[in-house]
Amino acid sequence: MYRLITQLGCTTLLLTGTSLAMAQDHYPNRPIRIVVNSAPGALLDITTRAVAQQMAKNLGQPLVVDNRPGADGQIGIRAAKAAPPDGYTLLASSNTVAQLPAMKKDPGYELKDFVGIGMMNEAPLLMVTAPSLPYRSLADLMAAAKAKPGKLSFASGGSGTTTHMAAALLMHRASLDIVHVPYKGISTAISDVIAGRVDFAFDGGNSAGPQINDGRLRALGLTSAKRSPAFPDMPTLAEQGLPGYSYTVYLGLLAPAGTPKEIVQRLGQALRAALASAPVRERFRRDGAEPGSMTPEAFTQFLQQDLQRTMKVVADLKLAKE
């Protein structure tokens, strides 16, 4: 009887392993959900939908966007973390996923809870202020901040978000003391920048660009290491007295840790194929973004490096964790 039970157990394990292998071989055989930790219509949402449409052609299954905004991006990240690691639930997020663990006491996840699939794209932010304020260059704003420590303010889309960390890195590099005013989303924050209620903010080119063109905002510079083809006449912050300053917003896809390597590689291949497609490249060009090209391994390492950089900035500036 013992021998029979043992044989049955071995047979069950063998069949289970075979079934898992067959499931991976035939992946995907049903729709894939992408949890987007931003609201519909935001840049992350628009980008993910464009990429998902092209990935679906490669994978042979639809990729369905599930928007889960809120709590500075934590709600969506937690939802993706809780999903089975089977390749049928992914996470689309910005730098936020690597930066929140450095900024929050309990974000509800660790970066090791995810594995990278790849970067979708990368783009600089624009440093903007109100035309009614006296700042016409980065030098003007830095001079005012040094003359009145703790008096100037900047707006962000929330603590630990990309728009917050771009400004924190500015303060870190230039040794400035500027008050952070977090908002529930960058669109609300920009409204107060336009009104002159806060001194400046950082925003993406897709949203700030039109407001610069119609005179509602004044641009002070780009956060990237070199000038952007989308804004060829706009100087970088590095050019204007902050050598070495570089900050870009990247948007990427991740999967819960434990997702089989073969599935992660398959998703990575489909992502890179999507990024090479003409519709996606044209979409990115209009947004002033460059497509990514990282393998899952390279993107996972990149996320860890971003977390370490953010932890150093937070520690050096003595930013309190929320």
Question: Is 22's pLDDT higher than 70?
Answer: no
Q: Where are the domains of the chain?
A: 30-122+249-317, 124-222
Q: How far apart are CA 45 and CA 271, in angstroms?
A: 16
pLDDT at 203: 93
Q: Angle 162-174/96-103 helices, nearest 10 degrees? A: 60
pLDDT tens, position by position, 63-119: 999 999 988 899 999 999 999 999 999 999 999 999 999 989 999 999 999 999 999
What SS3 state is found at 120? Answer: strand
Q: What is the mean pLDDT of the chain?
A: 91
CA distances to 119, 191, 204, 221, 223 from 138, rounded to whole Å, are 30, 21, 17, 7, 11
pLDDT-derived band of residue 8, with 50, 70 and 90 as boundaries? very low
pTM for this prediction: 0.83
pLDDT at 25: 62
- H-helix or E-strand containing 193? helix 186-194
Fill in the amino acid letter for 306: D
Tokens of 309: 């950089």
The CATH number corresponding to 124-222 among 3.40.190.10, 3.60.130.10, 3.30.360.10, 3.40.50.2000 equals: 3.40.190.10
Mean pLDDT of the 227-234 span: 89
Q: Are domains 30-122+249-317 and 124-222 of this chain identical in fold? A: yes
Domain 30-122+249-317 bears CATH identifier 3.40.190.150: yes
Question: Is 134's pLDDT higher than 60?
Answer: yes
pLDDT tens, position by position, 202-215: 998 888 989 999 99
Q: How far apart are CA 76 and CA 34, in angstroms?
A: 10
